[in-house]
Amino acid sequence: MCLGVPAKVLRKWVREALTYAEVDLGGITQEIIIATDDEVKEGDYVIVHAGIAISKINEEELEETLKLYRELRLENTY
């Protein structure tokens, strides 16, 4: 199973024909590659899988995704 996680774009730049971004993954910053045709700006949210932004996500979808993550975490607490 593959898991994509939401991340907030803090800054982005182009290097050697690739678009990179520094993102916030729940308090951890990471450099990723943006590989989506969606226009991604600083402050936007993206879904990251294996260090690559595979899609942009709007804030309504983000809230629903985070709600599901919280529910999964609570259900798996022993």
State how far the Cα of 67 lies from the Cα of 53, in Å rounded to an integer: 21
Answer yes or no: are the C-beta atoms of 12 and 23 closer than 8 Å. no
pLDDT in tens, 7-24: 999 999 999 999 999 999
The confidence band for 77, taking pLDDT boundaries of 50, 70 and 90, is: low
Cα 77 to the center of its chain, rounded Å: 25
Give me the pLDDT at residue 76, please. Answer: 65
Give me the pLDDT at residue 43, please. Answer: 95
Could you give all domains of the chain from N- to C-terminal order, each with its CATH number? Answer: 5-75 (2.30.30.140)
72 class by beta-carbon count within 10 Å (0-12 exposed, 13-18 middle, 19+ buried): exposed
pTM higher than 0.85: no
Longest Cα pair distance anywhere in the chain, in angstroms?
47
pLDDT in tens, 39-60: 999 999 999 999 999 999 998 8
Long-range CB pairs of 13-18, under 8 A, 24+ apart, other chains included: none
Asked if the model's pLDDT at residue 78 lies above 60, the reply is: no
